[in-house]
Structure 1
Amino acid sequence: MVRYAGSEPTLLVNTTAIRRSGEWVQVSWTGIEHPSRYDMGAGALTFKLLNHRAPMQFLLLTNVTDWAGGHTVLAGSPLVELAWLNEPLWGHLALTGSPGEMLVQWTTVERGRPAVRWGVCSGEYTGVALASLDTYARSDMCGGVANSTGFIDPGILNTAKMAGLAPDTRYFYIYGDEYFGWSEEASFFTAPEPGAEGAGVELLALADLGNCEHDGSVTWPGHYANPVSLLPPGTDAEVQAEVGAALHMGWVEYCAARATAARMAADMDAHPRTSLIVHNGDISYAEGRVYAWDVYMDMMAPVLRRAPYMLVQGNHERAWPGTGTRFETARDSGGECGRVLDKRFPMPPPAPGNGWYSFEHGPIHFLQLNTEMDFAPGSAQYAWLLGDLRAVNRTRTPWLVAGMHRPVYTDSIYGNTLEGDVGFTQDLRAALERLFFQFEVDATWYGHVHQYSRTCPVFQSNCMPDDVDGSGGRTAGGPVHVLIGHSGAPLSWAVNPSTPPYYEAVELRHGYLRVLANRTTLALQAIDSESGEVADETTMRKPYGWRANPKGRLQTIALFHANYTPSGWELSGISGYAENMVLDPAEALLFSEPELLERLRNTTLVQNPIAPDSLEALWELLKPLDGVLQDHYAHANRSSPAADFYYREYFTPLFDLFERHLDGVLKQNAPAPGSNAVQARGLLRGDFLLSAVM
């Protein structure tokens, strides 16, 4: 922001054309007389410029935080043209649900004669398939940002199908057009045939990622018209906005996502046979902004061309009023209402419009559910799920994993409402937990709550003993539920200060899941995005020749008596209103004390609002708040009884928990002796995988 005082500002770029998407452009400005003390009258910045399918221009603005639209354009740069307008970009793979097939989709500006070429040797392409062409228009969107300020031409979505692929084979491929040009070569591994001896696979799983600009720039007008990143840095108003966003678990930039994407790419370099990526909802958080999808695809480019990318809808892709979701008032998709995801990421049937489907990958059968839509008994999704569970061939695919966006179990205590974490998990378990248990679902992977956690093999909040199955072996006595919503979105710190006993791990740090499976072993490793360390790991096992026993599980359900008594936090959680009863007056006190405000001004998240958040960074904000609250509530008659209760029973234990666990590890217990969920350090070594797939 500047204060314009008469001279003619100028804005220049060091080039007026970029050859390829992602080249760097320097922007310089001069002529600002008497600039604000927070700005410079002259200077330069460097930006990574993507192909947004049109010439681009930089603008110098003043009054940008005037949300009534009163900002003024002081200067504009020359246009920056795209020399390779139809560069084939944003390539990504997907399974079709049929054996021997792989989709590849990429984006161009214009329609041509696109095709994919592939073969088993680098540079030698024996297969070719023409692509279908598609796009979406402003009128296809349901409202909001998606059909107004967030819409730009998304380009042509070219989708081609490679068919006749052999199992357990590496393929090399290129995509593009004879006239427009071809992509760089990429490669992928197909999975072993389900049911084959030694059918081992490696894969990655994540949820709630988001997008982040490589150059450190931020979005205007902000995620929810939040001026945090645009207020003059260091001012009281900016500090208060930053602190308020963090304390209320509000939205900051998603730059932990970039660390996760980079770590996944390095992981795939180290494990080149990684043959699948599962992303369970809240993909880019574009929320109606087409350019944000471009940023996301650029960020994920080193990953998505190397393995099929299988998605389910989250609230930030689907939720919009009047579109048939469970949450008729939610507007989290920005007006995309699931249509953008269906166009950009075609999934196997019956996914388009519904968002649920299943597929096989090596020894695993994946059930991908849509928790934004009705899943209760009597719904179309429930009927489909029941039919799929009954039809799974557990000889071909002994492992059964259910993926969805919203949680089955969560350590969050935020919100006992239809949309709240506590209320939703109760609804989901009431509808589906018995099915998951009866049909011996081995694990569920989900997100929505931005943390990592893993349960014991559990049913109705009770850790279950091992099963003695029909083959005489021992297997886990219930599904293991894994929350993987910690991939990039701001961490959800509304955790239960008294972790329920059915959790074996709860962590507040960013990362993703690495998985290895063969016919007898399903090994999970939670990878820390920053360090690459294994943050948590567990292994489930089945004897060779294992057979499912749904009738035996039905008998267990009939005789089962839950002996677990949930805490009040598990039953009711904390509402946004109750949270505000404590935080709002505390913030007012914080911001009224110059010494405390100065301490807050020097915290990590305030100094760098696009830095990946961590528990340590959050604690820099929470610690002074804790001090203010302690002082405030030490004096009688300063607050309502309800606010006093929430402070004593939730915030005080939570702050104590954070102070003791600044490494982000809130709970990590070794499973009980004899459990199948045993620690498996070293199990994902390459020699193990080699023996599994040969």
Structure 2
Amino acid sequence: MDQRQIVTVILLISATVAADYVRPRPRKILHFPWNQRSPSQPQQVHVSLAGQNHLRISWITVDQSSPSFVEYGTSPGQYNLISRGESTSYTYLLYRSGKIHHTVIGPLDPSTTYFYRCGGEGLEFQLRTPPAQFPVTFAVAGDLGQTGWTKSTLDHIDQCKYDIHLLPGDLSYADYIQSRWDTFGELIQPLASARPWMVTEGNHEKESILFLKDGFESYNARWKMPFEESGSNSNLYYSFEVAGVHVVMLGSYADYDKYSDQYSWLKADLSTVDRKRTPWLLASFHVPWYNSNEAHQGEGDGMMASIEPLLYAASVDVVLAGHVHAYERSSRIYNGNSDPCGAVHLTIGDGGNREGLARKYKDPQPAWSVFREASFGHGELNIVNSTHALWSWHRNDDDEPFRSDQVWITSLASSGCLADEMHESRKILMAP
């Protein structure tokens, strides 16, 4: 073998080692065959938190006269408890929704499996309630849609031992075609009927029509979140607590300036958080504030200017966003600079949507950007105890959940950032 051949072999080996994997081709939108069912059979069942020790069961029936109640218990087929709820429906141009049922059940025991049936007929479902104390695990995937990659993401999340799913906006990608809301509900039912799904709105939920529809009507009707339970006057932003974690779900597409209802609500909500009882504080919304991808540059700047000082003053530990169809993790950051008392920002808008990946990043990589990759996947936030959490991101472009990024995060409540002398900005929460 001469010198030229040796060099060629070395270059081929180097290229093979440098290539992490061969990126697969896009996958098509899923098609759902028509399935004949009884008009009163519950469909699109999903679960969400609804205040302390309570869950909300939501489902849809074609039959508008179907009752809104849930029978449940801790043994299969034995329902010794019953809760009655409410229902709604909506029309959208020529589309008329089925009857949308929302029923709150509880009080429930933590870390307990319950069996339930909706409306007195149909399949029996089972769910697992979240724990009352650490550890607690959140699965995270935004911008889901209904493609083959969405199915792959959901399959991988199903392998995760998680307690709650967080979805930072862009759910169904219905984009005005209302039947796609129905197929999305069908697609996620196996997971969403078994664990609470906590969502916030994205731009694909807006669906406004000038002079006819204001927007978010479909989203608000189908995905009722615990906004009333958390003192909010809008389903577009709310908060909840679980196992020592306080989570604020914010609206990138609701008013957020200092004179807005969302700003006033958030300030009041954060000021009441007891970090001794809930040492972890998370925030989630759709449009990222820290984004080194070329896609959607600057779109979160207005919200960041208004809301970031509140989150910093409250010592929010982690911020989860979507919108950009790629993954990125920041260092602790505030006001554009590294700050040991700032939040870790995670962009995870890579659930599998039909628009594809955002492949182009800015070069050079900003100092605050620790890890970034344009692949589909999901995240897992395992909050182990009051001081430590393990974040991992699992790329699924390989058809197997490959853990591509992982980091331990220490809570700000244990780092000294809550001390008044260390965190003067906290006074913003107490100001009138």
* Category of TM-score, reference length = shorter chain: 0.7 to 0.9
| Aligned mates of 1:48, 1:425 — CA distance in 2 | 35
User: How do 1:114-133 and structure 2 match up within 5 A?
Assistant: 114-133=68-87
Question: Does the 8 Å CA contact 1:346/1:352 hold for their aligned counterparts?
Answer: no
Are positions 1:455 and 2:338 aligned together? Answer: no
Match of 2:124 in 1: 184
Q: Which residue of 2 aligns with 1:565?
A: none
The answer to whether the aligner puts 1:434 opposite 2:309 as a matched pair is yes
CA apart distance, 1:303 = 0.7
Q: Give the counterpart letter for 2:405 in structure 1.
A: D
Contact 1:287 1:335 in 2 (8 A): no
Deviation at 1:523, TM superposition (A): 1.6
Which residue is 1:342 aligned to?
Answer: 220
**Equivalent-residue separation in structure 2 for 1:283 and 1:136 (angstroms):** 18
Matched, 1:305 2:193: yes
2:240 aligned with 1:359: yes
Q: CA deviation at 1:493?
A: 2.2
CA contact (8 A) 2:389 2:410 kept: yes
Partner of 2:172: 284
- The correspondence of residues 601-616 of structure 1 with structure 2, limited to 5 A, is none
Residue of structure 2 equivalent to 1:94: 48
Q: Does the CA contact (< 8 Å) of 2:226 and 2:235 recur in 1?
A: no
SS for the counterpart of 2:157 is helix
Moved over 6 A (4+): 543-547
> What is the distance in 2 between the residues matched to 1:544 and 1:553?
12
The secondary structure found in structure 1 opposite 2:219 is helix
Structure 2 counterpart of 1:203: 138
Give 1:509 deviation, angstroms: 0.4
Q: Which residue of 2 aligns with 1:173?
A: 116
Q: Choose 390-399 or 488-497, whichever is displaced more.
A: 488-497
2-structure distance, mates of 1:202, 1:353 = 27
Residue 155 of structure 1 aligns with an amino acid whose one-letter code is G
Query: Given residue 133 of structure 1, which amino acid in structure 2 is its aligned partner?
Result: S
SS at match of 2:299: helix
Q: Partner residue of 2:156?
A: 263
Kept in 2: contact 1:101–1:161 (CA 8 A): yes
Q: Is the 1:317–1:341 contact (alpha carbons within 8 Å) kept by the matching residues of 2? A: yes
TM alignment of 1:266-415, pairs within 5 A? 266-267=159-160, 271=161, 274-318=162-206, 320=208, 337-350=215-228, 353-414=234-295
2:343 is aligned with 1:479: yes
Shift of 1:130: 2.5
Match of 2:303, SS state, is helix
Tell me the CA shift for residue 408 of structure 1.
1.4
Q: Deviations over 1:19-39 (max 9, x none)?
A: xxxxxxxxxxxxxxxxxxxxx
Judge conservation of contact 2:314–2:426 (CA < 8 Å) in 1: no
Q: Deviations over 1:143-169 (max 9, x none)?
A: xxxx25xx2x32111222111212232
Residues 447 and 550 (structure 1 numbering): CA distance in 2 closer, same or farther, change over 3 Å?
farther
Distance 2:413 2:363 in 1: 41
Aligned to 2:15: none
Ranges in structure 2 where 5+ consecutive residues have no aligned partner: 1-30, 428-432
C-alpha separation in 2, matches of 1:261 and 1:521: 27
Cα distance in 1, alignment partners of residues 54 and 416 from structure 2: 29
Give the deviation of 1:430 after TM superposition: 1.8
2:61 counterpart (89, 98, 108): 108
Q: Name the structure 1 match of 2:404.
A: 535
Give the superposition deviation at 1:86: 2.5
Larger radius of gyration: 1
Partner Cα distance (1:404, 1:157) in 2: 25
Is the partner of 2:323 in helix, strand or coil? coil
More strand per residue: 2
Cα distance, 1:132–1:434 mapped onto 2, change above 3 Å = closer
Tell me which amino acid in the other structure corresponds to 1:315.
N
Superimposed CA distance per residue, residues 281-316 of structure 1 (whole angstroms, 9 cap, x where no aligned partner): 111110121211122112112210111111111111
Q: Report the more deviating stretch, 112-121 or 549-558.
A: 549-558
SS in 2 for 1:495: coil
Change (3 A) 1:381 1:393: same
Cα offset, 1:542, TM superposition = 4.1
Aligned pair in 2 of structure 1 residues 524, 83: CA closer, same or farther (>3 Å)?
Answer: closer
Deviation at 1:175, TM superposition (A): 1.8
The reply on whether 1:50 has 2:50 as its aligned counterpart is: no
Q: Deviation per CA, 1:632-691, whole angstroms, max 9, x where unpaired?
A: xxxxxxxxxxxxxxxxxxxxxxxxxxxxxxxxxxxxxxxxxxxxxxxxxxxxxxxxxxxx
Residue 137 (structure 1) shift: 1.8
CA contact (8 A) 2:40 2:66 kept: no
Residue 48 of structure 1 deviates from its aligned partner by 4.5
Q: Is the 8 A contact 1:338 1:353 kept in 2?
A: no
User: Aligned partners of 2:235 and 2:118: how far apart in 1?
Assistant: 29
TM-score by length of 1: 0.53
Tell me the distance in 2 between the aligned counterparts of 1:442 and 1:515.
12
What residue identity is the alignment partner of 1:159? H
1:354–1:296 Cα change, 3 Å: closer
Question: Per-residue deviation at 1:265?
Answer: 2.0
Aligned AA for 1:128? I
- Cα separation, partners in 2 of 1:182 and 1:361, compared to 1, 3 Å: same
Alpha-carbon separation, structure 2, partners of 1:544 and 1:377: 26
Using a 3 Å threshold, how does the CA distance of structure 1 residues 112 and 85 change in structure 2: closer, same or farther? closer
What is the percent sequence identity of the aligned residues?
A: 25
Which residue among 486, 506, 514 is the counterpart of 2:372?
506
The offset of 1:439, in angstroms, is: 1.4
1:567-586 equivalence runs, <5 A: none
Q: Deviations over 1:616-639 (max 9, x none)?
A: xxxxxxxxxxxxxxxxxxxxxxxx
User: How far 1:321 sits from its partner (Å)?
Assistant: 6.4
1:320 to partner: Cα distance? 3.1
* Aligned amino acid, residue 305 of structure 2: A
Counterpart-to-counterpart distance in 1, 2:359 and 2:412: 39
Contact 2:42 2:119 in 1 (8 A): yes
SS at match of 1:190: coil
Contact 2:280/2:411, CA 8 A, preserved across alignment: no
Q: Is the partner of 2:300 in helix, strand or coil?
A: helix
Partner of 1:520: 387
1:398, distance to aligned residue in structure 2 (A): 0.5
In 2 relative to 1, CA 398–308 (structure 1 residues): closer, same or farther, beyond 3 Å? same
Deviation at 1:434, TM superposition (A): 2.2
Q: Find the aligned partners of 1:286 and 1:544 in 2 and give their Cα distance.
A: 40
Code of the residue aligned with 1:535 in structure 2: it is: S
Quote the offset at 1:548 in angstroms: 5.8
Structure-2 separation of matches of 1:404 and 1:499 = 24
Q: Could you give the per-residue CA deviations for residues 601-629 of structure 1, whole angstroms, max 9, x where no partner exists?
A: xxxxxxxxxxxxxxxxxxxxxxxxxxxxx
User: Equivalents in 2 of 1:543, 1:311: separation in Å?
Assistant: 25
> CA separation of 1:553/1:425 partners in 2, compared to 1, >3 Å: closer, same or farther?
farther
1:238-257 → structure 2 map (5 Å cutoff): 255-257=148-150
5+ long unaligned stretches in structure 1: 1-46, 52-81, 139-146, 213-254, 324-333, 415-420, 466-476, 559-694
Structure 1 distance, partners of 2:163, 2:301, is 34
Tell me, yes or no, if the aligned pair for 1:394 and 1:547 is still in contact at 8 Å.
no
Q: Which has the higher contact order (CA 8 A, sep 6+)?
A: 2
Equivalent residues in 2 for 1:650-665, closer than 5 Å? none
1:382–1:168 distance in 2 versus 1, CA, 3 Å: same
- Describe the SS at the equivalent of 1:118: strand
**TM-score, length-scaled by structure 2:** 0.83
**Partner Cα distance (2:412, 2:350) in 1:** 32
Shift of 1:118: 1.5
Q: Across the two proteins, how many residue pairs are aligned to each other?
A: 388
